[in-house]
Amino acid sequence: MTEVKVGVVGGTGYTGAELLRLLIVHPYAQIEVITSRSEAGRPVADLYPNLRGYIDIAYSEPDENILANCDIVFFATPHGVAQSLVPSLIAAGTRVIDISADFRIRDIALWEKWYGQEHACPELVHQAVYGLPELNREAIKRAQLVACPGCYPTSVLLGFLPLLEQQLVDTQHLIASCASGASGAGRQAKVDLLLSEVSDSFKAYGVSGHRHLPEIEQGLSDIIGSDAEAPLLTFVPHLLPMIRGIHSTLYARLLDSDVDLQALYEQRYRAEPFVDVLPAGVCPQTRSVRGTNLCRLSIHQPLERDMAVVTVVEDNLTKGASGQAIQNMNLMLGYDESTGLSAPPVLP
């Protein structure tokens, strides 16, 4: 296989650092440039000592010409940043994977409402392919611009997918109760994220509305088809007193309570390299996916009543962000989908 020249825009945050950790061991990825306006000139390993001895590049100011010379460019930036650089890269023929939220939501007005700013390149939004491989694998292979899903949406969409594809549940009363480790909030100084504030505590946030809700509902609509009534989801995120991991518990009322749900999920995900359906009665643990691109889930029908309960775990920085981005890169470039992503979870 031919090596691919990779550029990373925004390599100082947690998703950027995770992306670099994974790219370093990817057999075909050659990291050419890592940009950061705030850390330009500083060696990457100074900021992330875990990368010492693995990468000797210094951060640099974003340069469109240098980035356009890469085969593929990742954006691990806050929302609103990718919009300023992506148009020129697309025009130059460079393939782009955006890990931020800039190209996920196709309704421009809806994106602007939730993210509080004007979208700088709405003309590219409908060109972007939503990068959930289990749903859009063939389109991702052909894409020039991929919008990598958010961490919560990945867990919710994968959890509901088999039920919705088979039209087995009431789509007007879906519920997702999700919890994320503190790294999901990014690498920034906030009082609410201090160790003494997060440790030994558990709380909900964004109950009246969260930016991932319109992305999730758009994904649910894509699964059930445009002819069906738009799905309605009650989404409640929580902050877990840990660093990495997402645990989502999903609820859906069954239209047919006699379906073998375990067999349904096992069959749907049998060929998926990064979705593991656990045996009946076993619940997944966040520690079982730490540092990997795996999503583990289980399906339950408590007391054989008409409610399906799906429990899903993933690492928010890997399958929920940078690992999934590399999974998309592998598809786009014709590599085996699991290339560079096969290391087992870290325990303890």
Residues 90 and 173 in one domain: no
- Sequence-distant (6+) residues with CB within 8 A of 256 are 168
Helix then strand then coil, % of the chain, to nearest 5? 35, 20, 45
Return d(Cα 257, Cα 308) in angstroms, integer: 9
User: Is position 342 within any domain?
Assistant: no
Per-residue pLDDT, 227: 84
Per-residue pLDDT, 168: 97
Residues belonging to the chain: 348
Residues 109 and 234 in one domain: no
User: Is position 263 within any domain?
Assistant: yes
User: Is position 295 within any domain?
Assistant: yes
**Domain stops at, among 63, 92, 127:** 127
Range of the domain at 228: 152-316
What's the whole-number average pLDDT of the chain? Answer: 96
* Exposure string over 182-199, b if 16+ CB within 10 A, otherwise e: bbbbeeeeeeebeeeebe
Residues 267 and 301 in one domain: yes
Per-residue pLDDT, 226: 80
Residues 166 and 41 in one domain: no
What pLDDT, in 10s, does the model give residues 279-291?
Answer: 999 999 999 999 9
Residue 9 has pLDDT above 80, yes or no: yes
* 70, 148, 151, 295: the active-site residue: 151
User: Is position 344 within any domain?
Assistant: no
Residue 1 has pLDDT above 80, yes or no: no
What pLDDT, in 10s, does the model give residues 52-77?
Answer: 999 999 999 999 999 999 999 999 99
Residues 119 and 161 in one domain: no
Residues 225 and 292 in one domain: yes
CB atoms within 10 A of CB 38: 7
User: Is position 135 within any domain?
Assistant: no
* Backbone phi and psi for residue 36, each to the nearest 5 degrees, phi listed first: -165, 120
Return d(Cα 43, Cα 34) in angstroms, integer: 10
Per-residue pLDDT, 220: 98
> What value does the mean pLDDT take over residues 123-144?
98
Return d(Cα 92, Cα 69) in angstroms, integer: 9
Residues 202 and 258 in one domain: yes
Rounded to two decimals, the pTM is: 0.97
The total number of structural domains that make up the chain: 2
CATH code assigned at 81: 3.40.50.720
What pLDDT, in 10s, does the model give residues 235-277?
Answer: 999 999 999 999 999 999 999 989 999 999 999 999 999 999 9
Residues 85 and 176 in one domain: no
What pLDDT, in 10s, does the model give residues 197-244?
Answer: 999 999 999 999 999 999 999 999 999 998 889 999 999 999 999 999
Residues 156 and 298 in one domain: yes
Residues 284 and 197 in one domain: yes
Residues 200 and 291 in one domain: yes
Q: What is the distance, to the nearest Å, from the Cα of residue 254 to the centroid of all Cα atoms in its chain? A: 27
Return d(Cα 239, Cα 56) in angstroms, integer: 35
Residues 10 and 66 in one domain: yes
User: Is position 162 within any domain?
Assistant: yes
What confidence category does residue 192 fall into, taking pLDDT thresholds of 50, 70 and 90? confident
User: Is position 306 within any domain?
Assistant: yes
* Exposure string over 130-166, b if 16+ CB within 10 A, otherwise e: bbbbbbbeeebeebbbbbbbbbbbbbbbbbbbbbbee
Per-residue pLDDT, 100: 97
What confidence category does residue 189 fall into, taking pLDDT thresholds of 50, 70 and 90? confident
What are the C-alpha distances in Å from 152 to residues 105, 180, 200? 14, 8, 22
User: Is position 347 within any domain?
Assistant: no
Residue 107 has pLDDT above 90, yes or no: yes
Active site residue 283: no
CATH code assigned at 181: 3.30.360.10
